[in-house]
Structure formats: C-alpha cells, structure tokens
Structure 1
C-alpha cells in the first residue's frame, strides 16, 4: 500500500509541469467561464427611463444562449417603472448592479425608479420568442422595447 501511494505521488509530480504548461493554452474554445466568458458577451443599448422620452432607438434581437448586459438610466423626472414578466421569465438573470451592490435574484417581475439613478442587468437569453419591456399603463410605441430571442 505504501509503495502504491509513493508511485502515485511520483507520477503526479512528473505530470504537474506538463499540466501547468497546458493551462497556458486556452485553445479549448470554452474560455474561462463558458457562457459567461467575454467572448459570449454583448452590451445592449441602454434604456433611458424619463418622462416622455423613448426607451430605446431600436428593438433588441437576442440570441438564445448568449450573455447580455444593459443599463437602465433613470433621469428622475418622474417615478417610472418597467414591466416585462414574460421577458424576465425567458432569461436567466446573472446579476443586477445598483450603485456597486450586486443582486442575484431568482426572478424579477418589474423594476421601478423613484428618483434618478442607474442600474445594470446581466443575463443569458434562454427561451426564443417575442417579448417586451414597457412603462406600465403606457400605450405609445416609444414607451416600449420590443425584444426577440432567436
């Protein structure tokens, strides 16, 4: 038994330099964090949350399995919220960052700004379909972000 352990230890010591050299090569194509790696990340246009201004300039077209980040910038002109429960259930939220505080929720239904501020949301698009984020009670097209996950 002691001889077997000594043999295993000697073989492991011989293999360590070779394994260390392999760690320098990131040719496996997966990156350090898989789907959360920088090569799979895209920044989306920020949402502008203010009285009477368009939320975005164009619809979002997302790819299932890709990681996205976007900011919501509230100007404080009025108390405003964004709702989109179907969208929030079609994604996996990695984190919501507010003033340096990272929140990792199990789910979100809506977000509200009572005063000026900014938040960033990082997520992975999961379920293909057509979704939206909108200011509740609004009917104007500029108060709504159309989202497609392909």
Structure 2
C-alpha cells in the first residue's frame, strides 16, 4: 500500500511542477528591471545661468525604472544635490564615459568639465523632492520631482 501511495504522490508532484512550468513560460519576463517597466524622463542640464530642466517639474511612478541623463556643458563647475530624492530611489547604476558604477547610495553629483552622466534607478518612495544646484537661488536652477 505504501508503494502505491508513493507513486501517486510522485505523479501528483510531477503533474503540478510541469503544469506550473508551462504557465510560467507563457507569462514572459517579470520584475522591476524588465523592459516593460521602464518610464521616460527628460534630460537635465548643468550649464551656468541656464535652467536645469526645460519642464521645471517631473512626475515619476513609484516602482518604475528610469534613466536620468545629466548633461554638463563645462561652462562652470556645477553640482546637483538632492539627498531627499536620492534616498527615495534605488540606484541601479551610474554610467560615466561608458564606465558603470553600482553605488549603495548618492547624495550629490558634480561636473568639473563638460560631460554626460546617466543614472538608472527605480522610483520608490512617493513624495515631492528637489534636485538643485547648491547655493543657487533661482527657481530654474533646480527641478521638482514628484514620485506618485
């Protein structure tokens, strides 16, 4: 009797495993880093006396993956800070001159010369945050980013 029960249990397990494998295969890729979970974000500019963002404010969705492109024109040594924003996201990677950096966190970034940087991240914590050039006073010298 025990042998019959063991065979039945093995057959049931195999049926369950193969049935789930087939249905999982039909679902495609999943996860936060998947291509279908990517949102769009306008580029930010660090240039002396010019607006950081053409839009003034940006809205992101919590749980979506974004790539923030930051372009420095080299007209001045400029930084972009926003510790609240950087703590509300999970940074996947920072790419500078085709070099990929995977940091635990960021507080601010700085451009000493002209160049480009791309920060890949997942928006996590809802709220409104400000990225701005430290010491600047003008409203255009930063950008408000809302995570919904």
* SS of equivalent residue, structure 2 residue 84: helix
Aligned CA-pair RMSD? 2.2
Distance in 2 between the 1:128 and 1:27 partners? Answer: 29
**TM-score normalised over the length of structure 1:** 0.80
Match of 1:79 in 2: 77
> Please, which runs of 5 or more residues in structure 1 have no aligned partner?
1-10
Cα 1:100/1:131, change in 2 over 3 Å: same
Structure-2 change in CA distance of 1:122 and 1:87 (3 Å):
same
Distance in 2 (alpha carbons) for counterparts of 1:119 and 1:65: 22
Task: Say how many residue pairs are matched.
Answer: 133
- Please list every run of 5 or more consecutive structure 2 residues that lacks an aligned counterpart in the other structure: 1-10
What is the distance in 2 between the residues matched to 1:148 and 1:70?
14
Task: Give 1:43 shift.
Answer: 2.7
Runs of 4+ in 1 over 2 A off after TM superposition: 21-28
- Name 1:35's counterpart in structure 2: 32
TM-score normalised according to structure 2 size: 0.81
Deviation at 1:26, TM superposition (A): 4.2
